[in-house]
Structure 1
Amino acid sequence: MEKPTRLALLKEIAEFLNEETETYSMLQGALKSLIDGSEFTTGWIFFIDEVGQHELVSYINLPGALEKNNCQYMREGTCWCVQAYQNKKLTKASNIINCSRINLANRAYHEETDGVTHHATVPLRSGEEQFGLLNVATPHTKRYSEENLELLESVALQIGSAIKRILLTNQEKEAARISERNRLARDLHDSVNQMLFSVKLTAHAALGMTQEEVSRKAFQVIEDTSQQAVNEMRALIWQLKPVGLEQGLVNALKQYSELLQLELLVKVEGLIKLPNLIEENVYRIVQEAINNTKKHGDTTQVKLNLIQKLDYLYVTIVDFGKGFDATHPNSYHSHGINNMKQRSKQINGKLMIESQPSKGTQIYITIPL
């Protein structure tokens, strides 16, 4: 199949990016278009935080050597391009002469390299703001032409602009969501919740006023059902607006877990005193994890560890439920996981998920303070 011209490829990618509203699917789609429409055969994208920690967020057609053990060589350790990016020495599309990740993988799995020994890299940026690196490679290629580097630079600028647009849009949406959640929480609390509570009290009073067995059973059912509805309404209101958060993160999470009838085992090290933005997002991340356990975990117990050091907050969420295959590419694109990753990124945090079927799920979050 004939490759599109450079101009046609850039137009195709620009049109795709203009329609995308979710960061991770945008990255995967743009990277696929670049690889399918150019001489490059494989590519991967790192997000890099302020302290130089990288996260593999997208990849296409990685050689078997690089894909081994859930992309171990891509996820672990550091490399020249990440260090150069962090030190502000990598400012444009460049050839990488010696890649430690490719070298390590190729030494361990020489027969599964697909001929990839070198790669090109370019920062993803929008104006002065940088987000990470776009890397590409072609078999049996040590240096990439100026034309290909220019193409890489153009695509990186498009992706960087799309990342910034999505971040700004998400911030606006989040502000609108918070306002709407607060309004709904007030309305539900003042109307529906009060009416349900009144029905419960009326049924309880009627139960004490009659001796007729059929009536007593009916009033008991009404009281029990009303109480269940009250509990579910409280949980819904709590999701909309965590009214206990002003009493502390741990207290709010414990109360929310009780509403879901989950046992939350909390271990705290250090004084958990956080800025409002971090506290709200940590609450929402743990809330999402607890919701996932309730819906999919087939367990009633969750462990939460909070460790606050001088410069970092470490959060660990563990359940021993059904788990899932965290190595499957689609597992990292679920709505709940994307929500957690987006919230973690909003506070410059790094989130890692480990899970296997029948072996539970572990979520690790590191947040700079």
Structure 2
Amino acid sequence: MSEQAGIREMYTLKTIAETLNTSNDLGAMMDTVVGKLLELTGLTAGWVFLIGERGSYQCISDEHVPPALKYRGGEPMRCGTCWCVNRFWDGRLDNAVNILNCKRLEKAALHAWGDTQDITHHATIPLRSGEKLLGLLNVAAPGKAHFSDSELALLQAVAYQIGSALERMRLYRAEQRRADLYSKLGEFGNAMGQVVNEAAGSENLAGTAIRLIGKYYDWPMILFLVRESKDSIIQADYVRGSGMRLRKRLLLESEADMLPGMFERETSAVLSQEEIVAIGAGGALEAALPELRAGAVAPVTYGASEEKGLLVIGRDTLNDDVQADLEVLEALADHIGTAWEGMKLAEQRRELARLEERNRLARDLHDSVNQMLFSLSLTAQGAESMLPDSPEWVLIRDAMQDIRSLSRQALKEMRALILQLRPAGLERGMLEALREYGTGQGLIVSASCTGMRSMPRSIEEGLWRIGQEALNNVRKHAGVSAVDIKLELDAEQVMLTIKDKGNGGAKRRGGQPPGSLGLSIMRERAESLGGRLELTSSTRKGTSVKAVIPLPPEPILSQEEHR
């Protein structure tokens, strides 16, 4: 090597080193470095790939590349693979090498995407910091098909400098991002705390959480998935620039094997580009998919609940600086889990308050109106016994008998109302409680049950109220005293059927405003629990009321819990 060539190389390395130390902005720095390198070496085009796991890479600088490689906003540099990237993933790029042909340029020429400026070949140099491979530096010039050993050696020295600078900047960015992410965590926690009492149910909580995460963080895609059944999920999704959406959907084929396993995981994890795109496709979030490079997932759990969720983010950068995102994602999942637990506790407090209020009202009715009706009945009976047994007092005696009959009927209705306010016997089981209630109403009740599993208290009490109203309708309208109650339980739903062989007419009553209130209340109770009410009625077969309510999945117990 001549002295002049050696001086030129030293000057090149010195200039590159100075440039690398002028900025912590990765994109601006790499554009400047590649531009200086091209200027000092006489080459005309250069580009840099940062490369992660197989399937993920990012072009962070492209100086003076041919128009053909800028087709559709640089699509040839963002999509597909090439020989140099594949060699990187296969571990076959240790030093600077000549690439015989550029696959990206060949494809661009084949599809006539634009002018290739007579560039067909390029040199490829791995970027590394110590033993860690970070990406590739590619340089080219029109008509240049071969790089000499001295040129490759100079490019290799420059690549070492770039690799060290990339690692320094990666560490700097990671710490800066960690600080930025954690600074927003407190704001998110405060916002979640303010809306917990307003979120009624896991769906609303999922939507609230995703909306707030999208407000405070810059991830291009955020998902919150809650398993509803083995085949479906509740999904809240957020796409940067599009806002939040909440919906229920069936699992896609691409997710059927992946998501069930994720719901069982106990720790957070990094997701590859293929995994995050598969989940995003399930959410019909195509607008965000092209820019996704990686992702992360964290489980959301609380207490000993049977419910469990997944918090998923998509990232538009590679996995090499994902650790800060992963830490904050776990913290966000903990916040959501705590909020979820708080929401359930708040609902339990409200339910206890409702029960206490119903009990108070039942006591007041028993101690006031109920006693007055009883006194009225006794007074009418006493007044009737005091009337002379003569024809002129017949009308008054009949009126007293009517008063006594009406007061007894009102007393019976009042006692039924008090029983509805205070569901005595529910602690012994909903079916037994309905049997006792029907017997107390003068009905002959036949009750049966198939299947065995636990029911949430809200569902059990909802079915109790539906059953009460159905038994009341049998007593008032069926014209018979016998009624069948059947409770059917399986892994996914509970069905309560109350059937009589009376004179029917429930559907006709349901069409009349005065008589439709009871049926409307039963239907509303079933729908509020996510189920439905089915009514069949005819004069020949009687009336059947069936409430079908979906059940949440039961928790999977460990062997110790079984014992």
| Alignment TM class, shorter chain as reference | 0.5 to 0.7
Counterpart contact for 1:48–1:132, Cα < 8 Å: yes
Q: Does 1:73 align with 2:256?
A: no
- C-alpha deviations, 1:95-146, integer Å up to 9, x for none? 254269748848xx8xx73344876421114589895233345598886944
Give the residue type in structure 1 aligned to 2:218: E
Q: In the alignment, what sits opposite 1:34?
A: 213
Deviation at 1:79, TM superposition (A): 4.4
Deviation at 1:158, TM superposition (A): 0.9
Cα RMSD after superposing both structures = 5.7
Deviation at 1:230, TM superposition (A): 4.3
Give the residue type in structure 2 aligned to 1:35: G
Aligned residues: 314
Give the residue type in structure 2 aligned to 1:365: L
Partners of 1:125 and 1:79 in 2: CA distance? 21
TM-score (norm 2): 0.41
Deviation at 1:188, TM superposition (A): 4.2
Matching residue within 393, 409, 432 for 1:227: 409
Q: Does 1:157 align with 2:337?
A: no
Q: In the alignment, what sits opposite 1:253?
A: 434
TM-score (norm 1): 0.57
Deviation at 1:287, TM superposition (A): 2.7
Q: How does 1:306-317 map to 2 (within 5 A)?
A: 306-307=487-488, 315-317=494-496
- Cα distance change, pair 101–269 in 1 and its aligned pair in 2 (3 A): farther
Deviation at 1:288, TM superposition (A): 5.0
Deviation at 1:338, TM superposition (A): 10
Q: In the alignment, what sits opposite 1:212?
A: 395
- C-alpha deviations, 1:180-236, integer Å up to 9, x for none? 7656645544554233333345446657866337x9569747853773464255334
Give the residue type in structure 2 aligned to 1:269: T
- Cα distance change, pair 33–190 in 1 and its aligned pair in 2 (3 A): same
Partners of 2:377 and 2:346 in 1: CA distance? 43
Give the residue type in structure 2 aligned to 1:45: F
Q: How does 1:1-369 map to 2 (within 5 A)?
A: 6=181, 9-19=184-194, 20-21=196-197, 22=199, 24=201, 25-40=204-219, 43-47=222-226, 56-57=233-234, 59-61=236-238, 70-73=248-251, 78-86=256-264, 88=265, 90-95=266-271, 97-98=274-275, 102=279, 105=282, 113-116=286-289, 120-125=296-301, 131-138=307-314, 145-170=322-347, 185=362, 188-203=365-380, 211-212=394-395, 220=402, 223-224=405-406, 227-228=409-410, 230-243=412-425, 246=428, 249-253=430-434, 268-269=449-450, 283-287=460-464, 306-307=487-488, 315-317=494-496, 340=529, 353=531, 362-365=548-551, 368=554
Partners of 2:408 and 2:249 in 1: CA distance? 51
SS at match of 1:212: helix
Partners of 2:533 and 2:277 in 1: CA distance? 28
Partners of 1:229 and 1:222 in 2: CA distance? 10
Partners of 2:492 and 2:282 in 1: CA distance? 33
Deviation at 1:179, TM superposition (A): 6.4
Structure 2 gaps of 5+ residues are: 1-179, 388-392, 472-476, 499-505, 511-523, 535-545, 556-563
**Percent of aligned pairs with the same amino acid:** 19
Deviation at 1:362, TM superposition (A): 3.5
Greater RCO (Cα-Cα under 8 Å, separation 6 or more): 1
Partners of 2:527 and 2:210 in 1: CA distance? 18
- Cα distance change, pair 315–304 in 1 and its aligned pair in 2 (3 A): farther
Give the residue type in structure 1 aligned to 2:330: E
Partners of 2:381 and 2:224 in 1: CA distance? 61
Counterpart contact for 2:231–2:251, Cα < 8 Å: no
Deviation at 1:37, TM superposition (A): 3.3
Who wins on radius of gyration, i.e. which is larger? 2
Partners of 2:380 and 2:278 in 1: CA distance? 68
Give the residue type in structure 2 aligned to 1:156: A
Deviation at 1:293, TM superposition (A): 8.9
Deviation at 1:34, TM superposition (A): 1.1
Partners of 2:448 and 2:300 in 1: CA distance? 39
SS at match of 2:487: strand
Give the residue type in structure 2 aligned to 1:82: P
Counterpart contact for 1:43–1:60, Cα < 8 Å: yes
Q: In the alignment, what sits opposite 1:330?
A: none
Give the residue type in structure 1 aligned to 2:270: S
- Cα distance change, pair 216–46 in 1 and its aligned pair in 2 (3 A): farther
- Cα distance change, pair 99–207 in 1 and its aligned pair in 2 (3 A): farther
Deviation at 1:91, TM superposition (A): 0.3
- Cα distance change, pair 198–127 in 1 and its aligned pair in 2 (3 A): closer
Deviation at 1:279, TM superposition (A): 8.9
Give the residue type in structure 2 aligned to 1:268: C
